[in-house]
Structure 1
Amino acid sequence: MYAGVGKARQLPYSGCAGCASVSACPTAAKSQGGPCGGVASQLHQDSTPRHAAAAPHSPSSSSCSAVASCCSLSPPPPRGQEQQAWKNGIDRPLHDQALRAQRRARVPEPHRQERLEKARGAGRRAEHNKLKLEVAQWNLSSKLLAGIAGLWILATTLLLTVPEAHGLITYLHWVRWPPSRELTDLVAFRLPHARNIEVHTADGMLLKGWHVLPSHQVAAAASRLPLDSRAREEFFDEAMGHPESRIVLYFHGNAATRGQFNRVELIKALAATMQAHVVTVDYRGFGDSTGWPSEEGLALDARALWAWVEERAGRGEGGAQVFLYGHSLGACVALELARHLPLVAALTPECSDAPDFSSLSPSSSDAKESAPAAPGSLVARRPDAGDVQAGRQANSVTPSGVILEAPFTNLSMAALYHPSALPFRLLPFFKHALILSMHERFPSLEYIQQVQQPIIILHGRRDRMIPFHLGEELYHTARLARLRERPETLEDVWFAEFSQAGHSNMYAYPQWTDELHTFMGSVDGAGHGKAVA
């Protein structure tokens, strides 16, 4: 054997490749009785290159040389082109075939089948595990959907049948967010130029909130005073009472507290970009305020906060601008306060001593409007321009304007268009049942027709909580009411559309700053609209 072939092939003898015929070969003449026998011939034949052509046998060569050349156990070395072909690996396929045969021989057939079975088993296990994972995910999704559906059915049942549960679902005041922060920790909310305030309502509730200074030299001066010191409190009061100060009363929406992230950022934006004193409280039952929320209770909270601001801002000479800023549910609270202040001024007493009207609720005032007047009683009527002017003369501070962000027309429509109320809109019976089950109204559509001050409505096209068309309806209703009764104030009703904003992120857009700057600059301290350059 020679290098390049792992095992000699046993082939039948067919003559010498170097001879022209079997009879001419001396090795063939001896058949298998020659000196090399058939083995040498077979080896010689097997070692002959396949590309080599049969060379003609020279008759002059002796038989010994023929026997030596043909029957030698070691093949003759290649020459010329044969040697070059040998180096180039012409016989490589034969060598590779032999190696493959050796590899197959090393692996017995049963073990090879076992290995194939293991591979198939591993593939089946991987497919089975993938199927199990999909089933587990489907089961988890089904349980979550079933839980959400169960909660929705429970909430709907409570809303339609239990009046006490209505407040829990409407206000969501029991949601405490952020849960781990004390609302009085101003450092945690990054409000170094603010102070904690307490406001007492007419019915004995305690409201807690913040007073944030404008972000300029006033805040820098306050930062040099010790926290919770008497001097710092007096400095805040004096800054608010400055004749040229700008004050914003902020009324937040339902759920959570004044410490919610978007509300804190809105307060900071108002103080920084509008250079305004921002005063806000948590309604009764919200955050760290006492009591239980209701429509009448929120109205009393707004009036108590207004009295707190009026006491401090009225120390100046009446030049301060005071704006009411309401978001979502707070927009209706701001509208009720704005229409209530001229109503109080329009009450005409027939006796010398007038009682305190701070505890007057919306329902009682509405009832008095429809009831006949008794001798010696106070009559509440819808204010006109003269009443508003009288109110300005009687009070040193009046609202300069009302800012409504993402308002609704009434609570029933807000609940009906909420994302969680989609089944109610699809089923007519449940739709009417939901509207009739609302025990509290918050009728912004009625309140806005009685507001005398300039109004701007801000609404985002991508608002998923309060639909955009509810804000548009409020806007058109306000303009129609002024066109009928006070056409000279028609241009005091503004509407700003935010194409990219949602329900709670308008403050993040430059348009918000531009709209508020223009609106606040268009009114004076007494709430009169003026031409905008």
Structure 2
Amino acid sequence: MSKNSSVLQRGFSRVILVGLLGLGVSYLLVVALVMIPAVQTYITYAHHIDFFGYNKFDHPEDYGLAPGKTVNMKLQSSDNTTIGAWFIVADSLHRERSLIPPTPNQRLACIPSSLSKRPTILFLHGNTGTRALPIRVTVYTGLTARLDANIFTIDYRGFGDSAGHPTVEGVARDARAAWNYLVLQGAKPQDVLIVGHSLGTAIASLLAADLARDGIEPRGLVLMSAFSSLRTLMDQYYLFGFLPLLKPLSVIPLVPRVLTWSLKHRFDTLTLVPEVKTSVLLIHGENDWDILHTHTSTLFEAFLEQYLPSPPTLCDNPLSSQYAAQNDFRTKRRSATVRLTSISGFGTLEEFVDHKKGGRRVAMLKTMAGGHDIGRLEGVQDAIGRMFDFY
């Protein structure tokens, strides 16, 4: 009996060993694949993933939008790449129209009038799918109703019915092309709010920084479910919500450098913080398992850093009284600078006025629920409306 038990134990151990070896090899294969540029492109943008496979963009009514409310169009980016776009009019303007929808050309001709009557949100969506993804349509309808805003949204190159292949420079060009179109149609910069979600937050930040370099200030910038940088996101990313993708490799010398070197699409919103001049609202759900809400905290602290004393250095002894005093002074200064509001049953709002950049407002809303698709929450839409004077 004991001999049979010994044989079973050895067999069981062998199975466990082979299983662990298989997991290790699979993990290394996944990491190796991630380092291939073409694979990185597909993972970063996921532009060929369309869960519904039904892209009849010239019939936005098929996606739940009201008849005659949306204009389907094509834009030309600065490198002559054709991109698809939707212009969705504010609810109050749509209700003024007759029951019989206007023709596509009539809708197109009404865009300048719509821009002059109501503010417009330039919405830059995240990866995967298209501008017609149902969850995005839900956000559009909420914003056109609660904020009574026009929505202008695009599919970046390689997405939906847009031509080309996505790159950091390319999608930034596409966002600027959308902005330029609105301005050419008569929109004033102060009437256009830039809103980005997920991957779109990196693109929205690139656009805001680009406009600031040209001396242009939009109505504001909203970043929903943002990541501080793609490199940091890779370090903190968990497959299926619990398997760390690259974190185990961080303990191996030189591997982090190799991973950084291999990164093709270098989205880095954190480095753009000093260049953004307009008011900013950062929004994140604390139960977002796709992108941890700590990324948004990092960005908010970066905007705030200029108002705080320098933190204790690594050389300082954390047990010394001087270290504790420095830390305490920094904490008190932060409390004096930032106004904290707790919203019962919803979340917290932190805000400060940046007097060094024209008195702009910088705020961070953390919600208790909402997950990754935070823009569908009415409380989030209300926060946007209040901060940027849509009401």
Shared fold (TM-score, shorter chain, > 0.5): yes
The answer to whether structure 1 residue 427 and structure 2 residue 249 are counterparts is: yes
User: What are the equivalent positions in structure 2 for 1:305-384 lying under 5 Å apart?
Assistant: 305-314=178-187, 318=188, 321-345=191-215
Aligned partners of 1:326 and 1:332 also within 8 Å: yes
Distance in 2 between residues matched to 1:205 and 1:311, nearest whole Å: 18
Counterpart among 409, 418, 425 of residue 228 in structure 2: 409
Structure 2 unaligned residues grouped into runs of 5+: 1-18, 310-353
Counterpart among 87, 90, 94 of residue 214 in structure 1: 90
Equivalence for 1:130: none
Aligned partners of 1:256 and 1:287 also within 8 Å: yes
Distance in 2 between residues matched to 1:289 and 1:464, nearest whole Å: 30
Distance in 2 between residues matched to 1:307 and 1:147, nearest whole Å: 52
Equivalence for 1:487: 356
Deviation at 1:257, TM superposition (A): 1.2
Q: Identity of counterpart residues, as a percentage? A: 24
Q: Could you say if the C-alpha distance between residues 255 and 199 of structure 1 is closer, same or farther in structure 2, counting changes exceeding 3 Å?
A: same
The answer to whether structure 1 residue 452 and structure 2 residue 322 are counterparts is: no
Distance in 1 between residues matched to 2:299 and 2:219, nearest whole Å: 20
Equivalence for 1:252: 125
Give the aligned length: 322
Aligned partners of 1:205 and 1:290 also within 8 Å: yes
Q: Could you say if the C-alpha distance between residues 319 and 462 of structure 1 is closer, same or farther in structure 2, counting changes exceeding 3 Å?
A: closer
The answer to whether structure 1 residue 518 and structure 2 residue 365 are counterparts is: no
Deviation at 1:234, TM superposition (A): 1.3
Aligned partners of 2:116 and 2:186 also within 8 Å: yes
Deviation at 1:163, TM superposition (A): 2.2
The one-letter code matched in structure 2 to 1:174 is: H
Aligned partners of 2:124 and 2:203 also within 8 Å: yes
Deviation at 1:225, TM superposition (A): 5.2
The answer to whether structure 1 residue 230 and structure 2 residue 139 are counterparts is: no
Deviation at 1:188, TM superposition (A): 1.1
Distance in 1 between residues matched to 2:202 and 2:189, nearest whole Å: 26
Of 436-445 and 290-299, the range deviating more from structure 2: 436-445
Equivalence for 2:299: 474
Of 253-262 and 416-425, the range deviating more from structure 2: 416-425
Equivalence for 1:528: none
Q: Could you say if the C-alpha distance between residues 220 and 204 of structure 1 is closer, same or farther in structure 2, counting changes exceeding 3 Å?
A: same
Higher CA-based Rg: 1
Q: Could you say if the C-alpha distance between residues 229 and 423 of structure 1 is closer, same or farther in structure 2, counting changes exceeding 3 Å?
A: closer
Q: Could you say if the C-alpha distance between residues 483 and 200 of structure 1 is closer, same or farther in structure 2, counting changes exceeding 3 Å?
A: farther
Aligned partners of 1:173 and 1:254 also within 8 Å: yes
Deviation at 1:488, TM superposition (A): 5.9
TM-score w.r.t. the length of structure 2 is 0.75
Aligned partners of 1:207 and 1:283 also within 8 Å: yes
Aligned partners of 2:194 and 2:218 also within 8 Å: yes
Aligned partners of 2:31 and 2:246 also within 8 Å: no
SS in structure 2 opposite 1:456? strand
Higher relative contact order (CA 8 A, sep 6+): 2
Aligned partners of 2:278 and 2:360 also within 8 Å: no
Deviation at 1:499, TM superposition (A): 1.1
Aligned partners of 1:211 and 1:277 also within 8 Å: yes
Per-residue CA deviations over 1:21-54 (Å, capped at 9, x if unaligned) read xxxxxxxxxxxxxxxxxxxxxxxxxxxxxxxxxx
Equivalence for 2:38: 164
User: What are the equivalent positions in structure 2 for 1:288-307 lying under 5 Å apart?
Assistant: 288-307=161-180
Q: Which has the higher strand share?
A: 2
Equivalence for 1:184: 58
The one-letter code matched in structure 2 to 1:158 is: L
User: What are the equivalent positions in structure 2 for 1:16-95 lying under 5 Å apart?
Assistant: none
Of 164-173 and 483-492, the range deviating more from structure 2: 483-492
